[in-house]
Amino acid sequence: MSSMDIHEVLEYLPHRYPFLLIDRVLSCEPGKSLSAVKNVTINEPFFSGHFPHHPVMPGVLIIEALAQAAAILSFRTMGHKADDKRVYYFVGIDRARFKRPVGPGDTLTLEVELKRHARSMWIFSGTARVNDAVVTEAELMCTIRSIDDVKNGD
């Protein structure tokens, strides 16, 4: 179970500021699970509009952070890094639940567990926590596609 600093995270995700939502990986067991961290700060660009009087991290971005953790787990499982030949897409989100708001100063611990993998389809359970409290849960379905296939409409 290996950890990854931000430099290694950048090798596995094509995302960059302001859309990179993983600061470090605490542990990764390829083919099984991954635990990562997102430090939420008042400097996040979304807080100026969501909401100026009471900053709340949008739930969709918590789901995106879980998906980025799932992407790292997928790439680590396959033994690949992010490149310009593949793209990682959401294909479904089920049973998403938001249990409490996330705000500046919170540290999100993102946990994803691989449930199934068949061909290019990956299904994960994801949980985001602040301290020990669950803030978000969801089942994520993702696929990895060749850029050439996407460009050709396949």
pLDDT of 149 reads: 72
Q: For residue 111, count other CB atoms closer than 10 A to its CB.
A: 20
**CA dist 15 to 76, 91, 117, Å?**
16, 18, 23
Residue positions annotated with a catalytic role: 50
Q: What is the pTM of this model?
A: 0.95
Domains and CATH numbers, the chain: 6-151 (3.10.129.10)
Task: Record the tokens describing residue 11, joined without a space.
Answer: 């090798």
Per-residue pLDDT of the chain (154 residues; tens, 9 = 90+): 789 999 999 999 999 999 999 999 999 999 999 999 999 999 999 999 999 999 999 999 999 999 999 999 999 999 999 888 888 899 999 999 999 999 999 999 999 999 999 988 999 999 999 999 999 999 999 998 888 776 777 6
d(CA 95, CA 8): 31
Task: Record the tokens describing residue 41, joined without a space.
Answer: 């700060």
